[in-house]
Amino acid sequence: MSLKRRDILGGLAALLPAQALAVDGALRPKLRQNTTLRAPSALVALDPRLANLTGFALRDLSTGRILEEHQPRLSLPPASVTKAVTALYAIDALGLGYRFPTDVAVTGRVTGGTLEGDLYLIGGGDPTLDSDRLAQLARAVAAAGIRQVRGRTYAVGTTLPYFRNIDPGQPEHVGYNPAISGLNLNFNRVHFRWTRRGTGYDTELVAAGQKHMPAVAGIDIALANRKAPVFQFRDADGRDSWSVAAGALGARGARWLPVRQPTLYAAEVFRTLASAAGVAMPAFTEARVAPEDGRLARVESSDCARLLRTMLKYSTNLTAEVVGLRASQARGQVPNSLGASGEEMTRWLRTRYGLSKARFVNHSGLSDQTRMTVEEMVQLLDIAAATTPLQRLMRAHPLSRAEGTKTPLPGVEIRAKTGTLYFTRTLAGYIEGRGRRLAFAIFAADLNARAGFRANSAKIPNGSGGWRAAALKQERALLRHFANVHL
């Protein structure tokens, strides 16, 4: 059965500019025969050290013909290229206009500036909620005439299931592996800053937005007399507690640390911002259920189209996992793990697009257990080009005319998603020029090298930097070949 344009794009014209929704070519059946056209071989662009670890495929979108391929059925981790699949999953389940809300609700009456009842901060899962929009919500409470909350305050983050992190195999301190809940703030990260003062340091933790930077007291951080490990984390009875090696700090610096209790983190910051707006309230406790009415104020995320465009540009793991979880919920599932939601996306890919080899364990690609082939990736990109605005949501990928130069290759536009793990490099997207549009995927991964180090180690594995540089050079060589030979 063929996909119909109205199934995906119907009613969405008002959500994006017309050119963003434009797609070329007539709609085609879900899968087309992979007939290969013989051409000057791209194999010459492969690094001999990486050839057996690499798969690539190049597909003509006007004919469906495979122009070139190498190990197209080699199943490899797609890394953050997974986010392109997640974007399609979210578009299908949620629509480009979907927005994530964050609400404040109250019970009781406001008398003389005092709320004679309880106040609820209710997360709708927004992965992009920041301190600035939380301050906007706090000002709305003040604008409603509330100066004091006499009852209790509750934070509700149960719209989405709670997960302590995205991938337990990652180092504890990396900001790209935060917790997930229905109430998220600043990508569930806190900004740690330090400055040397004499023989010691001044330190602070800040919920940093663009305009508002309230201090955070609900997370502990202390300096330790050691050089390594630089960061150590422990759960102190539900309270995040960090230890930092003083011997590893320079004169000054800053970094983002992940938050493991995001609901209470957001609630504390909201209370601080409300106080700055002239509203006094007691400390928050977590609640599982919010009142059905009594909504006082709301802020919303950008629409899903903009969320996905930003996710693909900056490769934000939290956004990918949240939109993926929300899409699974919209499909009637109640995922109790990221793996379960990844399995639902795998089922969707099979039933919606007829692709049966791919397997997803999450929505961000932050795992080497997800698998996909370049053959299936270019088939998916082919269908997406005719039925969704995925290409316009992808980030422009510059390519120079020759290795070692900055002069751009003229007349060629590439929009693609990159992916990187240790000993893994992937790239997939669209390349067009001179009236021709192609879809491509390049996956390279040394699974034996990945198996040889502990993923949760803070130490960068030996040889990974050189491997990545070689994979990037090979990637650029393949793209130049695709452009010079087929455009």
Mind listing the pLDDT tens digit for each residue in 415-428?
999 999 999 999 99
Return the pLDDT at 169.
Answer: 87
Where would I find the H helices in 362-443?
374-387, 390-393
Q: Could you count the other beta carbons within 10 Å of the beta carbon of residue 202?
A: 11
| Structure letter (DSSP) for residue 331 | T
What residue type is assigned to position 302 of the chain?
A: S
pLDDT, tens digit, 9 for 90 and up, residues 122-166: 999 999 999 999 999 999 999 999 999 999 999 999 999 999 999
Cα 220 to Cα 295: distance, rounded to the nearest angstrom: 33
Q: Which two tokens stand for residue 468?
A: 């990545």
Structure tokens at 312: 């693909």
Q: How far is CA 329 from CA 210, 314, 334, 412, in A?
A: 32, 25, 6, 40
In sequence order, the β-bridge partners of residue 102 are: 123, 299
384: tokens are: 């997406």
pLDDT at 458: 64
Inter-axis angle of helices 82-94 and 374-387, to 10 degrees?
40
**Does residue 86 come out as left (phi exceeding 0), alpha (psi in the -120 to 50 range) or beta?**
alpha
SS3 174: coil
Contact 390, 84 (CB under 8 A): yes
Reported pTM: 0.90
The predicted structure's pLDDT at residue 41: 86
E strand or H helix at 244, and its extent? strand 240-245
Query: What b/e readout covers 40-73, taking b as 16+ CB neighbours within 10 angstroms?
Result: eebeebbeeebeebbbbbbbbbeebebbbbbbbe
What pLDDT, on the 0 to 100 scale, is given for residue 8?
Answer: 31
Using omega within 30 degrees of 0 as the cis cutoff, is the peptide bond preceding 229 cis? yes
361 to each of 328, 335, 454, how far by Cα in Å?
13, 12, 19
Q: Which residues of 362-380 are buried (b: 16+ CB within 10 A; e: fewer)?
A: bbbbbbbebbbbbbbbbbb
State pLDDT tens for residues 167-199: 998 989 999 999 999 999 999 999 999 999 988
Give the pLDDT score at 23.
33
Please tell me the predicted confidence (pLDDT) of residue 454: 64
Positions of the chain with pLDDT under 50: 1-31, 33, 35-38
Helix (H) or strand (E) holding 264: helix 262-276
Question: Residue 202, SS3?
Answer: strand
For the chain, give the longest Cα–Cα distance: 81
